Copies of this chain bind each other. A is one copy, B any other.
Amino acid sequence: IAKEVAKLLEMKAQLGGDEGKPKFVLKTPKGTRDYGPKQMAIRERVFNAIISCFKRHGAEVIDTPVFELKETLTGKYGEDSKLIYDLKDQGGELLSLRYDLTVPFARYLAMNKITNIKRYHIAKVYRRDNPAMTRGRYREFYQCDFDIAGQFDPMIPDAECLKIVHEILSDLQLGDFVVKVNDRRILDGMFAVCGVPDSKFRTICSSVDKLDKVPWEEVRSEMVGEKGLSPEAADRIGEYVQLHGGLDLIEQLLQDPKLSQNKLAKEGLGDMKLLFEYLTLFGITGKISFDLSLARGLDYYTGVIFEAVLLQQENEHVEELVGVGSVAGGGRYDGLVGMFDPKGRKVPCVGVSIGIERIFSILEQRLEASEEKIRTTETQVLVASAQKKLLEERLKLISELWDAGIKAEMLYKKNPKLLNQLQYCEDTGIPLVAIVGEQELKDGVVKLRIVATREEVSIRRESLVEEIRTRTSQ
């Protein structure tokens, strides 16, 4: 056997030697993309805004593996489960790529018996959905999640989640937005008083969830035709789901003769009122809309749900290109952790997820339109030489600068032309050039050139680090 293996390896080595043309398509998988340096610069700006906000609200951070045991994800996503990426069975456990960060978070809490935590998690999730990449819909995309787990007084953490959405969307200056809010209990109560059988709540909820994309008539015919709901029930739902407003609507529904008789709906409306009182104290009700058509498809929500959408701006054609849509969503899921706990112990949770791919798309297109030049490095100084045979001197100087914490580059040529070195600074935005020359070496100085003004000053070698620091600190 050993000899056979050796033979095969030999054959393979010979084949491997033929490094000819590739026989395959050169691309990233469907629905995915690379991020080049420019895109990364935008991405880091967005991340910084989001992480600052999460930290401002006192969140810790955690991370979980990109895949979970397949059974961990089973039964959590309703009709969306078909979009989960499974790994091939190569022996051992059956694995799936995470579909969101919420289920792994719940698994983490149950596994570590944590009953109280406020954390954020920023990572990629995976959905075998129909990609629409120009509108920022990908199969691999980032979620930025902030969640509060623990038994607390009603609506205080929920209100904070909405405050966070408001802070982040304001901070990123994406234009006008509205955060739609509803409650699963209000929806379920509404379904009950409209005559939807208990067993159809979830599937009818999925239909309502489509109302932001398709008109009511289509949703209605799905309910009646595909899902076997009575036309009367559907019409009653139709009346409710067109309602949206603020505290006034909540008061109105609390007086609604049918809805106010339903225990779940009443609970939900009472909490919604409390939520709006807190949001008033936060001064953000102007952007919040209590909207009975908001459903959200995922199975695990149990209370408040919400979704932030950007509003079309008529005058900025840049944004029309990327379209508008949901950029954040979340809600309360009090039962999910219990599904993982061996004894079914519940940990109430509420959280928000910021979907940044759409935000990227908008900022990317806006940046392209603005022709603003963004730097993709932070290099402070280029170590250059005016004459030949000074590679060793450049290496010595750049090493000194690195060791002093200065961000420095040099061209990887033995004898680069000064013009090329200066051009490199122009191209990449490096503000300073430290030029070594034979005379300067003798004199113990370095010539420092300010790229923007072309000014040149002689700096004593021992003062160079300090000089670069001063000149590159805003």
Assuming A2-B226, A16-B75, A33-B65, is B22 touching A413 (CB within 8 A)? no
- Are A20 and B56 closer than 8 Å at their CB atoms? no
- Are B395 and A340 closer than 8 Å at their CB atoms? no
A120-145 interface bits toward B, Cβ cutoff 8 Å, 1 = contact, 0 = none: 00001010100000000000100000
Shortest A147–chain B CB gap in Å is: 13
A92 interface residue, CB < 8 Å from B? yes
A111 interface residue, CB < 8 Å from B? yes
Shortest A443–chain B CB gap in Å is: 21
Within 8 Å by CB of A26, from B9, B97, B110, lies B110
A33-48 interface bits toward B, Cβ cutoff 8 Å, 1 = contact, 0 = none: 1111100100110000
Roughly how many angstroms separate A6 CA and B225 CA in the complex, as a whole number?
A: 10
- Are A281 and B392 closer than 8 Å at their CB atoms? yes
Residues of B within 8 A of A86 (CB): 87-88, 90
Interface size band for A:
35 or more
- Are B71 and A37 closer than 8 Å at their CB atoms? no
| A63 closest partner in B (C-beta) | B35
Within 8 Å by CB of A29, from B19, B65, B199, lies B65
Residues of B within 8 A of A338 (CB): 19
**Copy number in this complex?**
2
A307 interface residue, CB < 8 Å from B? no
Residues of B within 8 A of A79 (CB): 9
| A3 closest partner in B (C-beta) | B228
A225-246 interface bits toward B, Cβ cutoff 8 Å, 1 = contact, 0 = none: 1111000000000000000000
- Are A340 and B22 closer than 8 Å at their CB atoms? yes
Residues of B within 8 A of A26 (CB): 107, 110-111, 340, 342
- Are A66 and B69 closer than 8 Å at their CB atoms? no
Roughly how many angstroms separate A63 CA and B360 CA in the complex, as a whole number?
A: 14
Shortest A119–chain B CB gap in Å is: 7
Residues of B within 8 A of A22 (CB): 339-342
- Are B93 and A29 closer than 8 Å at their CB atoms? yes
Residues of B within 8 A of A58 (CB): 377, 379, 407-409
A369 interface residue, CB < 8 Å from B? no
| A148 closest partner in B (C-beta) | B412
Roughly how many angstroms separate A203 CA and B379 CA in the complex, as a whole number?
A: 42
A267 interface residue, CB < 8 Å from B? no
- Are A89 and B88 closer than 8 Å at their CB atoms? yes
Assuming A34-B64, A63-B35, A85-B87, is B282 touching A29 (CB within 8 A)? no
- Are B72 and A24 closer than 8 Å at their CB atoms? yes
Residues of B within 8 A of A378 (CB): 55
Q: Say which one of A149-157, A208-216, A285-293, A319-327 lies at the interface with B.
A: A149-157
A313 interface residue, CB < 8 Å from B? no
A163 interface residue, CB < 8 Å from B? yes
Roughly how many angstroms separate A157 CA and B395 CA in the complex, as a whole number?
A: 11
A405 interface residue, CB < 8 Å from B? yes
Shortest A408–chain B CB gap in Å is: 7
- Are A16 and B202 closer than 8 Å at their CB atoms? yes
Within 8 Å by CB of A226, from B6, B40, B66, B339, lies B6
Roughly how many angstroms separate A22 CA and B200 CA in the complex, as a whole number?
A: 24
Within 8 Å by CB of A13, from B92, B108, B156, B201, lies B201
A30 interface residue, CB < 8 Å from B? yes
- Are B85 and A90 closer than 8 Å at their CB atoms? yes
A21 interface residue, CB < 8 Å from B? yes
- Are A2 and B225 closer than 8 Å at their CB atoms? yes
- Are B66 and A66 closer than 8 Å at their CB atoms? yes
Roughly how many angstroms separate A392 CA and B280 CA in the complex, as a whole number?
A: 10
| A199 closest partner in B (C-beta) | B10
- Are A402 and B299 closer than 8 Å at their CB atoms? no
Roughly how many angstroms separate A178 CA and B40 CA in the complex, as a whole number?
A: 34
Given contacts A29-B69, A282-B395, 10 further A-B contacts (CB under 8 A): A9-B227, A21-B342, A22-B339, A32-B67, A35-B63, A60-B377, A65-B140, A88-B88, A153-B412, A153-B414
Top 5 A-B residue pairs of the complex, sorted by shortest distance between their CB atoms = A152-B412, A37-B60, A58-B409, A32-B65, A35-B63
